[in-house]
Structure 1
Amino acid sequence: MILGSSFNMLVVPYLLLYLHAEFGFRGAILVTGGVCLNQIPASMVFHPVKWHSKKPHHCATVQERDCKTDHLRAVLEAFISNLSLLKFTRVVVISLPFAVYFTGVVFTSSYIPFVMQSTGYTLEDSAYCLTIMGIFHIMATLIHPCLSFAFRGSHFPIMAVGYGSLPVALVGFIHGTNIHVKAASMAFFGMSMSFVGVSIGPVIAETFDASMVLRVLSINGIFDTTAFLIIGPLTGSSLTF
């Protein structure tokens, strides 16, 4: 996670493949957990131990302690204020499709190895498809600024292409008759993911204002969570390739 989603798409499939073959399922889980724990010392590179070792300041009076709740109050007030954005149609129009996109991408990517194996493909085949998806995700992310310049700085067309390409790529993957067709579909899928994911922030800034990006993204988080809880169980019971 520290190195980014594109790097994970390239490395994690082969890492999990090796761990599963070498140590079995339980051993792979334990090793993966240990790798995740390494994020703690890795974070020290960016947050020095000396900074975290500062002597804490203890409040001496009740009045001082009460002041510490101002931070929590500010967060709650900001959250309540952000909820008022739900009355704006444009916020809902932006947040709802992105929530469905986010949930669909997460579950589709997670189920690919299991579903491919259930239809006769090997774990190496699924790792190959996910790797191709990661490579094209990186490529699309790198060329994204150039595409925005081609549209005079607008990110709306790029996001629209991404939304339109995702189902096309998924249909191609579902009906692909061999590993090469499925890999090509995953390459298209990875590019579409990048077009939508990278465009969401700039689209919010174009629609409203740069200062509104975080507020709208907080509302988008509510939509993401709701879609995750609703679509997740349905995806698990019905997604077949």
Structure 2
Amino acid sequence: MTELHDGGSKVIFPSSASVDKIVKVENMSKSVELPHDINDNEKCRDAGLNSDGDGEMRPPDGGWGWLVALGTFIISLLIPMIMPCFGVLFSHYLIEEGATSTTTAWIFSVQCFIWNIMALVTRPLIGELGWRKVGILSSVLTSIAFVISAFSPCPEFLFFSISLLSGIGAGIAVSLCFIILPLYFDRKRGVANSIMMAGICMGQIVGPPVARFLQDEYGFKGATLIIGALILNSCVGACFFHPVEWHLKKTRREAVSLPQEDEALLCEQNAKRNSAASNSQISCNESKGDQDLMPFAMLKKQRGGLHSAEASSISRNSSSLCISTIDIAGVGTIPVSELIEEPYPYVQDSNRSSSFCISKTFLRIVRGTAKDLTILRSPRVCILALNGTCFLNGYFNFMMIVPFAMQAAGRSLEDSAWCISISSICNLLLRVVVSSLSDFPRFNKRACYVSGFVVTSLTMFTFPLLVELRWQILTMAGFGCGIGATMGLYTITMIDVMGLDSLAPVFGATSFAVAFGFLCFGPMIGFIRDLTRSYAISMWAMGGTVLCSALSWFLMPAATRYDQRRADKQHQQPEKTNSKI
């Protein structure tokens, strides 16, 4: 063992036979041990870990973030298009097989239910597998779902292929895009969000005509196989999803001049803290040093290993050591927070069975999911969840039922495909414009968000009353504008109301409510259609659910005041406890 003293701090290295050195990096009041070669006065290259306290790690707000935005664009272009393509792609097949409107609605609604419920488990899955693995696996699963749907023996088989498999894969992939993109941007978040929204809308524009063309040329089986092959290309987009910790940028804090008395008091506090840290330094013997190498050995075996550079030296000018030459690509997909909370989850018992490890992983995912659901205790989140539930259920069910309603009125599938595409073009324009405008402080995001609810509901009430195709197209254009005004600010409104740190649990909890909404509203719409034999009444019912989203938003000021009072009470309780002590 070799002991080196640096400014009162003792650093212990293993014997000379060991190539890797262990350096303790203090971050967020906890120690993380990583193999490291120390180089004098070099900056830390490991993302998220700082060697000095004079800076702050912030999102890149560009750089690799634009490639992440490109990845979300590719996934959003290919996967969400299966929603508007459902009616065009499967309507002929379901009608020829004699499927009822209730069966069709159940297939679509169960898919939407599973699609949205997967958003709740996306964050725990990311913590276990990493961003890219989750994105690639979910994309492959969605592609497989459409490939096997081409060989569907009966309409009920679509419950397995489309509802279950594509619901799981597409739900995770799309949720991944909504969660990762805001982490890479701060000032340019609106512009980056508009790129992802452009992908969603372009998929809706191109998807229905392409599906119709493929059906005319290759039939139901050939068209479904080709759509499955196209979806497989979303794996390319998932490859850009690096952990944001790899690309954080350090911004220097501005020096603040303090009065002489305050400066002396601050120096005294720092001296006490450094003295306490020096006294708590743990000295290791040789056997303990060999045990200290076990965590990294296990981590290297599981994550692919870390590679350090060659010669190194210790800075004697400062007691803080930094990671200088770690190969970032070797770190895999381990976020810094994951290393801090549970650095080496498999160190205690290296002989655990694989089934036991899988069960522990599953339990961690379940615990993380349950923890995210507790955010529903906030009435603000409940209102956001109600908005999303009523709006998205009405929106997607309306898009699904339009081809059936137009065919019943004597229109062709080509007419319905063009109506959906026109609405998607207007949807695209409004999403891009609204998302970009959200970066400006004077832009009223909440007013625009609520106005989208109102416009969407009015067009849904109007569409069944129209007969001429041109007026139907014009109404669908207004429908697309309303959708774009709301969906362009969907996650931005969540961040505006609850903050960026709460985006993942808020998005998951909202999607959880939306999922159960699809399970209830979808079959109800099909039941209304079978009972009344009228698509108009079904569309009016969907317009009413969207209007409820606008009305519920007026409860947000009261919910904000309630959360503020509850937060004030929680802050007052520790103060009372400290005063008693």
Fold in common (TM above 0.5): yes
Deviates more, 1:61-70 or 1:5-14: 61-70
- The 3 A distance-change label for structure 1 pair 107 and 29 is farther
Give the corresponding residue for 2:490.
200
Deviates more, 1:57-66 or 1:201-210: 57-66
- The 3 A distance-change label for structure 1 pair 237 and 33 is farther
Give the corresponding residue for 2:223.
31
Residue identity matched to 1:84:
T
SS of the residue aligned with 2:452? helix
1:93 equivalent to 2:93? Answer no
Mapping 1:1-241, distance limit 5 Å: 2=75, 3=77, 4-23=199-218, 27-40=219-232, 43-44=235-236, 47=239, 61-63=350-352, 71-148=361-438, 152-239=442-529, 240-241=535-536
SS of the residue aligned with 1:214? helix
CA distance in structure 1 between the partners assigned to 2:385 and 2:234 by the alignment: 33
Superposition CA RMSD, Å = 2.8
Deviates more, 1:156-165 or 1:4-13: 4-13
Once the two structures are superposed, what CA deviation does each residue of 1:128-184 show, in whole Å capped at 9, x if it has no partner?
A: 211111110111012113543677244211110111111111122111231111111
CA distance in structure 1 between the partners assigned to 2:417 and 2:503 by the alignment: 35
CA contact under 8 A between 2:423 and 2:476: conserved in structure 1?
A: yes
Once the two structures are superposed, what CA deviation does each residue of 1:92-147 show, in whole Å capped at 9, x if it has no partner?
A: 11111211211221111111111101011122211121111111011101211354
SS of the residue aligned with 1:62? coil
CA distance in structure 1 between the partners assigned to 2:439 and 2:230 by the alignment: 40
SS of the residue aligned with 2:417? helix
SS of the residue aligned with 1:121? coil
CA distance in structure 2 between the partners assigned to 1:145 and 1:57 by the alignment: 40
How far apart are residue 70 of structure 1 and its match? 5.6
SS of the residue aligned with 2:438? helix
Percentage identity across paired residues of the two chains: 19
Residue identity matched to 1:11:
V
TM-score between both structures, scaled by the size of structure 1: 0.83
How far apart are residue 76 of structure 1 and its match? 2.3
Deviates more, 1:193-202 or 1:61-70: 61-70
Once the two structures are superposed, what CA deviation does each residue of 1:185-211 show, in whole Å capped at 9, x if it has no partner?
A: 111111111222121211111112111
CA contact under 8 A between 1:148 and 1:158: conserved in structure 2?
A: no
Residue identity matched to 1:5:
I
Alignment gaps of 5+ in structure 2 = 1-73, 78-198, 241-300, 304-345, 530-534, 537-581
CA contact under 8 A between 2:211 and 2:223: conserved in structure 1?
A: no
- The 3 A distance-change label for structure 1 pair 140 and 41 is closer
CA contact under 8 A between 1:82 and 1:219: conserved in structure 2?
A: yes
- The 3 A distance-change label for structure 1 pair 151 and 128 is farther
- The 3 A distance-change label for structure 1 pair 67 and 197 is same
How far apart are residue 44 of structure 1 and its match? 4.8
CA distance in structure 2 between the partners assigned to 1:204 and 1:47 by the alignment: 27
Alignment gaps of 5+ in structure 1 = 49-55
- The 3 A distance-change label for structure 1 pair 122 and 34 is closer
Identify the structure with the greater strand proportion: 2
- The 3 A distance-change label for structure 1 pair 175 and 45 is closer
How far apart are residue 71 of structure 1 and its match? 4.4
Residue identity matched to 1:32:
T
Once the two structures are superposed, what CA deviation does each residue of 1:47-69 show, in whole Å capped at 9, x if it has no partner?
A: 49xxxxxxx85999324856666
How far apart are residue 212 of structure 1 and its match? 0.7
Residue identity matched to 1:185:
T
Residue identity matched to 1:6:
C
Q: Greater CA radius of gyration, 1 or 2?
A: 2
How far apart are residue 79 of structure 1 and its match? 1.4
Once the two structures are superposed, what CA deviation does each residue of 1:64-95 show, in whole Å capped at 9, x if it has no partner?
A: 85666664444322211122122211111111
CA contact under 8 A between 2:215 and 2:223: conserved in structure 1?
A: no
CA distance in structure 1 between the partners assigned to 2:374 and 2:467 by the alignment: 49
Residue identity matched to 2:521:
I
CA distance in structure 1 between the partners assigned to 2:390 and 2:216 by the alignment: 34
- The 3 A distance-change label for structure 1 pair 204 and 174 is same
- The 3 A distance-change label for structure 1 pair 29 and 157 is farther
TM-score between both structures, scaled by the size of structure 2: 0.37
Deviates more, 1:65-74 or 1:108-117: 65-74
Once the two structures are superposed, what CA deviation does each residue of 1:188-241 show, in whole Å capped at 9, x if it has no partner?
A: 111111222121211111112111111111111111110000001111233513
